[in-house]
Amino acid sequence: MRNRHRLEDFPMLPKSNYIPSVHGGNRLVQEELAYDRHSLTIDANNAEDRLNDDQRTTYKTILNAVTNKEGKLFFVYGSGGTSKTFVWTTLLSRLRGQGKIVLAVASSGIASLLLLGSRTTHSRFKIPIDLHDESTCNITQHMKVAELVRKADLIIWDEAPMMHCRAFEAVD
C-alpha cells in the first residue's frame, strides 16, 4: 500500500493460485503451482481438438495414468517432426490447469526452451556431469527440490535418448 494501491486495483494482472500456508514456503513447489490455470485449461481444450489419432492415444493414455495415480513410465518415440512437443505441451496445459505439478525437463538447453517452465535435466535433478555406475544426484531427502520431485504428478523428460543410461540410474 506504499503508493496507495493494492493488487486488486489492477484487474488485468494475473492472480496467483498459491496459498502460503499449504506449501510450507517451498519456492519450487510455489512456482509449479503458480501457473494461470484458467488460460492453461483453455489452451488444453484448443490443443486437444488438434491432436491426430496417434497423438490423442498417447495423450489420453498418459493423462489417464496420471489421473489414476498409476505410477507408470512411458517412452514415447517418434522421429523429428512427429509433434511430440505438441503432445507434451497439451499434457502440461491440461494437468497444470488442474493444479497438478508437472516437471518438464529436457536433455539439452535448446530442447528445454520448447516447453513452458522446463529446465535441463542436470539443472532440475542435480545430475553429476561425470557419470559412473555409482553416481547419484546431488539431492538429499530434506532439500526443497526433493519435496518438489515427491509432489510431482508427472515428469516429462524430452530428448531422453540423448542421455546416458547412468543419468537415469542416478535420478532413480
Domain locations in the chain? Answer: 27-171
Task: Label residue 56 exposed, middle or buried (CB < 10 Å: 0-12, 13-18, 19+).
Answer: middle
Cell of 137: 544426484
Top pLDDT among 77 and 91 is at: 91
pLDDT in tens, 23-60: 568 899 999 999 999 999 999 999 999 999 999 999 99
Give the confidence band of 21 by pLDDT, cuts at 50, 70, 90. Answer: very low
Give the confidence band of 78 by pLDDT, cuts at 50, 70, 90. Answer: confident
Asked if residues 32 and 117 have their Cβ atoms less than 8 Å apart, the reply is: yes
Whole-number pLDDT of residue 167: 86
Between helices 84-97 and 37-48, what is the axis angle to 10°? 140
Pairing between strand 119-120 and 154-158?
unpaired
Asked if residues 76 and 86 have their Cβ atoms less than 8 Å apart, the reply is: no
Measure CA of the first residue to CA of the last residue in the chain; give whole Å. 47
Whole-number pLDDT of residue 17: 58
Q: Specify the CATH number of the domain 27-171.
A: 3.40.50.300
Top pLDDT among 31 and 9 is at: 31
18 pLDDT above the threshold of 60: no
